[in-house]
Amino acid sequence: MTSQASTDQAVAERSEELRRTITRLFGRSLHIRTLDTGSCASCEQEIRLLAAPHYDLHRLGFFFTPAPRHADLLMVTGPMVRAFENAARKTYDAIPDPKVVVATGACALGGVYQPDPFTRGGVGDTLPVDAWIPGCPPSPLALLQGLLVAVGRLAGKVQDLDFALNGIPQ
């Protein structure tokens, strides 16, 4: 019992230390690989806008890369069509550790499509997701916030919102 508790504590300390190390590694600069698992391309359009002058995500140290082996962060859009599952797993495996997976858009979060013979209805069952960005499509500002939350440079705030209004709706 006592040794189990001390082991648990040691594991918790070790994982916290690891988390801090990863945050420090990713805090300055990282490369993003985007993965379309059957999205309608609205999410891709918004992701592409991140590199435009108005949002300019390079100022925050994020860069896009076409090669999973050069990537640190996998940005997954779409409801994970079953035909693509194998490729998605291979892409995930090809990214060197440590890596971050970000599910992007309502389809990837499991909102729009139900699981059926063609899609998994979300990426959460196929890949270990670290951050979730809602939106259909998420705006570039929401994507920026999501990326910063995913690498621990911003704290998420949605867990403190209750989506209840007090007064008359605007």
Partner 1 sequence: MPLWTLRGLRRGVVTTRYPARPDPSARLLPTPPAFRPDMLTPGLADRLVSVCPSRALARDGDMLVFDVGACTACGRCRAAAPQAAGASGEFELAATAREHLIKRIPLGGRPA
Q: Which residues of the chain form contacts with partner 1 (CB under 8 A)?
A: 53-56, 59, 106, 109-112, 114, 124, 129-136, 138-139, 141-142, 144-146, 148-150, 154, 156-159, 161-166, 168-170
131 backbone φψ class: left, alpha, beta (φ>0; ψ -120 to 50): beta
| Minimal distance, residue 69 CB to partner 1, in Å | 26
Spacing of C-alpha 92 from chain mean position:
12
Alpha-carbon Rg for the chain, nearest whole angstrom, is 18
| Minimal distance, residue 39 CB to partner 1, in Å | 13
**98 Cβ contact list (under 8 Å, min separation 6):** 22, 25, 26, 72
| Minimal distance, residue 149 CB to partner 1, in Å | 4
Do residues 101 and 127 touch, judged by C-beta distance below 8 A?
yes
User: CB-wise, 24 or 70, nearer to partner 1?
Assistant: 24
Please give the span between the terminal C-alpha atoms of the chain, in angstroms, as a whole number: 56
User: CB-wise, 22 or 135, nearer to partner 1?
Assistant: 135
User: CB-wise, 91 or 145, nearer to partner 1?
Assistant: 145
User: CB-wise, 94 or 156, nearer to partner 1?
Assistant: 156
| Minimal distance, residue 68 CB to partner 1, in Å | 22
